[in-house]
Structures are given as structure tokens and as C-alpha cells.
Structure 1
């Protein structure tokens, strides 16, 4: 498990502390300056900061990512997501290029990596893309283009030869034999870790259901993990320009990423009490499109949705227990609601 140094540099001092490190990685005959250093609220399992490097050659937009103060997954490791992006380079998936990774003791006081910043706009996370941001402001035709671009990306990821790409390390052999058994056993252990052993009834029922209906797909595929439009950068024509956030990439079933997308879209619309925005393809249309893309029937989708909702609960339950949030701040409510809906 990754540990964070007690000398960790606070966010407000990161830009200054980073500047001498940047000089080491950007040899220049003139001065090198870090500018525009700002934190972005993208994701919460990893802290993300945007900044520019300015030298005599111009400006280079970059991104720094580091673990949060409190780890939200039991096996969090920056190296995992860095290796995924490095090994996806050249596959056609537009991932950022990692400039450097530092996992040992360093002046920032914690592991971190720096990567290039891709151009484009991502739909809103908070508030949801059905109520604000790029997707909300788009036309119905543009929304459909963004949605299908995300589904296309999910299919492209699933077609990657993960063995040839050196991604076998994404398996969890210590948790079982097949990829579904491994995933369920990992989820069970992660929930107990997040809740300090006191796992809520809904999640105990979810694990019991997943174990009772355990299966193995005909073929294990690479799964993006956090498959949603908010992790895609779109250009001005609403085409995919970047695919982000690979912290929970894993090997799993072909339906895994599709289930994640559909579950979170449900959370952003129906759970919030309103229909999806016009132009958003329906669940049935999405499934049919994905089957056409992959040439294979979609199976066990609700099983994968239950898994998705439970997995997303791990960091939320970790925050609830460690920060001791009051009962009225039920940040896992949408996950619990979807699990109960599908189990019943």
C-alpha cells in the first residue's frame, strides 16, 4: 500500500516547490518558470493540478497528479495509472503522455507524476452534466455525438490486446482465479477496509448476490474503470480528444465499462429526479449500439451495474468513516439506491 510522507507540501506551496524540479526535467539555456498553478476538482481519488512551464521556447501546459492526504482505495499506486497510460500510447486511445514519475522521497513530500495537458472540454461532474456544463449547453445532436464518442471509446478499450500491451499486471491473482471472481473478492476486501469492518447491509447483500451469481466472461478484456463522459476531453466539434483517469483500470467483462457509464448516467438523471437531456441515447439504444460495435451480445449488465455501484462506494465509504460525516450527509445514497433497485 502506498504511503504518503509527513513532509507533504500543502497545495498552496506546490507551485513554488515544483519549479526547481521542473528545471531538472526541462533543460533550458534561459530561465524556466512555473505559472498558472491551480487545482482542478476533476476526480477525487487523485489530486490534480494544472500549470504552465514557461521558458525561452514558449509555454508548455502540464498536469501534476498526486495522492490525496487520505488514500481512498486500499491498493492505490500512482505507478499503476502511469503504466496504463504509457502502454496505451500508440493504441489509438488518446491518453496523456507522462513526462516523469517520482515515487521516492522528493521535495514535494509525496509521490507524484507530471503529464502533458490535452486540449478539450470535459462535461461537468458536479453539478452533473445533465444540469450544467458542456453537455448541458450543447444541442441534442451534439450531446448524442458526445455520448456515442464515449461508447466508441469504451469499445476501443475493450478491443485492446492487453497481453501484447503488457497490461497483465492489472489482474488480481491473489483474489481468485477468473477476472470476475478476482473482482468480487477484491471488492469485498476493499469494502471491509473502507468501512473498518462495519460494512452496511446493502453492500453485504450486494457481495452475497455477486458471489451467488458468479460467472466468467467468454473473454477477459481491458476495462477503463471510470468510464464516463466526464473523463473525456471533447474538441469544439464534440469529438473525443483525450481519455483520462485510469486509476481503477482492470481486467474484466466486456460489459463492465458500459455498466459504469449507464449507472452513472442514471445517477445524473433519474436519481436526481429528472429525465436525461434531449439527445441522450436511451439505455436500449446504447446496448444495441455497443452490441453492433463489438459484434457480441451484452450479457450480465445488471450484475456489472451492482458491481459498479458497490465499487464506487469504496472511496465514499472510506471518506464517511474516516472523516466521520454526520448521518444526514449520505454521500453513498445514489450507489445504495441503485443497488437496492437492482437487487429488488
Structure 2
């Protein structure tokens, strides 16, 4: 009587099965990319048509000017004749130009004071606008209204307000026996005046802070009150840590705006940007070289340096944000 070679199903070791599967996968031809059908192509064309104004705007008003400015930064160009290639001479001049150093120092002074002060003012306004009172809608309107005033109009208001002869500021000082002060004529005073002027536009950042405050879960505050935490403890242990993503956004936008401060300084100095008056900010000096001295190549080099400085600061802030930005409600 003969015995069959195999009885029942043949059992193969798992390792052999995996090896065979891998061999089949290797022998299989690579998948070809799927081609879009007519409906998908039609949807793609429709989508591109709808976003084409944005694409055209980015290319025409952002990408092309940036590339053109970079190319002009290596030339001497007045806008009246063809550009002349000078290599890195504009950048060498910018590094050794004392007025560039003066304008940069004024801008850094402005940013160091205006940005943190603006964040504090905006957060304070947001907390005030987040109170559960009957008139909160009116308060929000009052707090936000100054940010709607154009910068040039606010600058003229401050010029009248700080006038050394008949300004309200000096009239108040005279009531308390003080002498008239010409803040707009003092190198430090004019920067302080422009910094205070910028705080009237804190309403935009306050609205962003307010949105962050409204997203903090109420249950977290209730649990903190049960544990005996007071308002100050709740702010530093709950509110502030959960607002750090919003703080990061407002910090980036605040630094970007501080590096480009221009309108207030232009109006306060009557467009001169006098270095002795202390209002010669970086953008003001860039403007004077481009449209006052017809040095468009040199102004383009200054613009490129400003872009690189802003990019470096943004990357630094993002790197530091890993230590203080909290995205987890349960953390901290």
C-alpha cells in the first residue's frame, strides 16, 4: 500500500511566504501614474481660473518686483538711463555708510520698545474686551476705533497735540508748572512720540488676542478655581500659556511692521528724514535714496538687506518659539 507524498494542505514557513511575496512585488512592474480623466481636468481648469487673479497678483506685484530689485541691487541706476553693472559695490557702500547705521539703530530702538509695548497694550485691550459685562460691545468698538484712523491722519493729530507753542500736551504741562517741551525736535523724544502713536493701532492685534481668549476652554478656568487659583494665577498658568500661538503670530507681524515704519516718520519730519531729529528710520533712508537721490540701485541693495534681516529675525523667533509656544491645552 503506497503512502501519498502529502497529506492535507501543504504548510509553508512564514519566512518563505514573506520572501515569495517580496519576490513577486519586485517582479511586478511599477505602477504608472494615474491620468486625470476629462472631469478631473475640467475641475482643475475651473479651480485655476478662480485662483488666477491671486496667482497673477503674486507674480506681478510680489515675485517680479523682488527678482527685479535683486537684479537692480548689483547696478547703478537712476531711472533715467540704462542700469550699469557694479557688482557688490552697493552692498559694500551700505555696510560702510554711516547713515545706514544711524537708520538701522533708530529702527532697532523703535522695534525693541514698540513691539513689546504693543503686545502688552493689545493683550490688555483683549482682556478688557473679553469681560462679561452688558456694555462690552460698546467697549470693543471704542477700543478698536483708533486703529481705523489712517496713519497719516494720526500723524497730523500728534503734530498738533505735541506742538511746542499751543499743543495740548504742553498746555497740560503748563498747568502743573512745567515748561514747554519740543518732543518732535528732540532725537529721542520724536522716536518716543512715534512709538506712542503706534499704540493707537493696537486694536487689530487685540482682536486676534480676543479670538484666542474666546477659544480657551471655560472648564480649565473652572477647574483652576476649584483648586483655589486666583485671577493672577489663572492668567499666568492658563491664559498666557494657551495664548502663546497667538502671541507668536502678533510678534512676527509686529516685528515686520516695526522694520518698515515709514509713514509717521515721513509726516513728522515733513519728508526730510533729518538724521539729527532722530526720525531717520531704515525705510525712510531707503525712500530718500530711491526717490530723493535717484539711487535706485543702492536703494534696491538696502531693500535686499532689509529683507534678509527680516527673514533672519523671523527664523530666530520661530526657533525660539519652540521653547515658549504651547499648542497643547493640557500642557503647562
TM-score band by shorter chain is under 0.3
Give the TM-score normalised by the residue count of structure 2.
Answer: 0.23
Give the TM-score normalised by the residue count of structure 1.
Answer: 0.22
The structure with higher relative contact order (CA 8 Å, sep 6+) is 2
> Which structure has more strand as a fraction of its residues?
1
> Which structure has more helix as a fraction of its residues?
2
